[in-house]
Structure 1
Amino acid sequence: MYDRILVPTDGSNVAEAAVDHAVDLAEKYDAEVHALFVADVDAVTYSLGTEQIDRIRQGNFQGMTDLREDAEEATGYVKRQAEPLGLSVVERHAGGRPHAVIADYAADNDIELVVMGSHGRSGVRRALLGSVTERTLRSTHVPVLVVDYERADE
């Protein structure tokens, strides 16, 4: 049913809960796992220059040690969970608006399922904080499995 599963990750506990689900599904379907780290350029625009923002958008984190380490650790976690099960893992680091990069990556790489974490926020709190997961749902035609972090711990 699934040959390629995308799991966007920022290395947070929320993302790691989604990784567990993605790897479980990938093992079940013998699917390739794509681990995608997206540096949100909107969140860093004011503290960096134009040249650095352009490099981040290209996924080039050279000279940005903390960002590169965060990206490598986040996608490396996916790899460490999947490879012992014999699964193939593709790691990708990119920059941009996360929901748009995720949707574009899914379309460009024939992804058949996106697995993402969510804090399970609702109502006014969700509207005020925004949600990469919700924006991704609206930006892609690929099925998206949303893993509720609050319930993943139960």
Structure 2
Amino acid sequence: MYERILIPTDGSNVAQAAVDSAIDLAERYDAEIHALFVADTDAVAYGLGTEQVDRIRQGNFEGMTELREDATEATSYVTEQAEKAGVAAVEHHAGGQPHRMIANYADDHEIDLIVIGSHGRSGVRRALLGSVTERVLRSTHTPVLVVDYQEDD
């Protein structure tokens, strides 16, 4: 049923909860995990020059230490958890509008399921889905599993 499962991740607790669900499914279906970190170029464009934004769009975070570390940390967590479970994993870093990059990646890599957190790194608990998650749901025909995370009180 599932051969390739995509996990868009920003490294947040919600994204890490989605990893657990995705790996469980990957184990059951002998599927490959794809970990995707997308740097939102709309959010970073104001503080960077055109050349740097173009490099980010190409997934090249060289010279941007903090961004590169965030991307590596987020996707490495996914691959480490996958390896512990005996699941094959692929890491990818990209730049652009997250919902479009996620939908395009799913199409380009014949992804069978997207497993995504209900919201990302916002500090506020939302009653509605996060904007990226909501836009992913509207941007792709690939099935999407939305995973919520609630911190222990």
Once residues 74 and 68 of structure 1 are traced to their aligned partners in structure 2, the CA distance between those partners, rounded to angstroms, is: 10
Aligned to 1:122: 127
- Alpha-carbon distance, 1:153 to partner: 5.7
- Alpha-carbon distance, 1:149 to partner: 1.5
Greater Cα offset, 76-85 or 134-143: 76-85
RMSD value, Cα: 1.6
Write the mapping of 1:1-154 to structure 2, written as runs, cut at 5 A.
1-119=1-119, 121-122=126-127, 131-150=131-150
Three-state SS of the structure 1 residue aligned to 2:116 is: strand
After superposition, give the CA deviation of every residue in 1:88-146 in whole Å (9 maximum; x if it has no partner).
Answer: 101000000000000000000000000000147336xx6xxx61000000000000000
Higher helix share: 1
Change (3 A) 1:153 1:4: farther
Three-state SS of the structure 1 residue aligned to 2:51 is: helix
Identity %: 72
Letter in 2 for 1:83: E
Taking structure 2 as the reference length, the TM-score comes to 0.92
Letter in 2 for 1:122: A
Once residues 70 and 144 of structure 1 are traced to their aligned partners in structure 2, the CA distance between those partners, rounded to angstroms, is: 24
- How many residues get paired? 148
- Alpha-carbon distance, 1:148 to partner: 1.3
Once residues 136 and 88 of structure 1 are traced to their aligned partners in structure 2, the CA distance between those partners, rounded to angstroms, is: 24
Once residues 5 and 61 of structure 1 are traced to their aligned partners in structure 2, the CA distance between those partners, rounded to angstroms, is: 24
- Alpha-carbon distance, 1:85 to partner: 1.7
Gaps of 5+ in 2: 120-124
- Alpha-carbon distance, 1:86 to partner: 1.5
Once residues 126 and 6 of structure 2 are traced to their aligned partners in structure 1, the CA distance between those partners, rounded to angstroms, is: 23
Three-state SS of the structure 2 residue aligned to 1:149 is: coil
Once residues 85 and 19 of structure 2 are traced to their aligned partners in structure 1, the CA distance between those partners, rounded to angstroms, is: 14
Change (3 A) 1:66 1:139: same
Taking structure 1 as the reference length, the TM-score comes to 0.91
Once residues 13 and 86 of structure 1 are traced to their aligned partners in structure 2, the CA distance between those partners, rounded to angstroms, is: 22
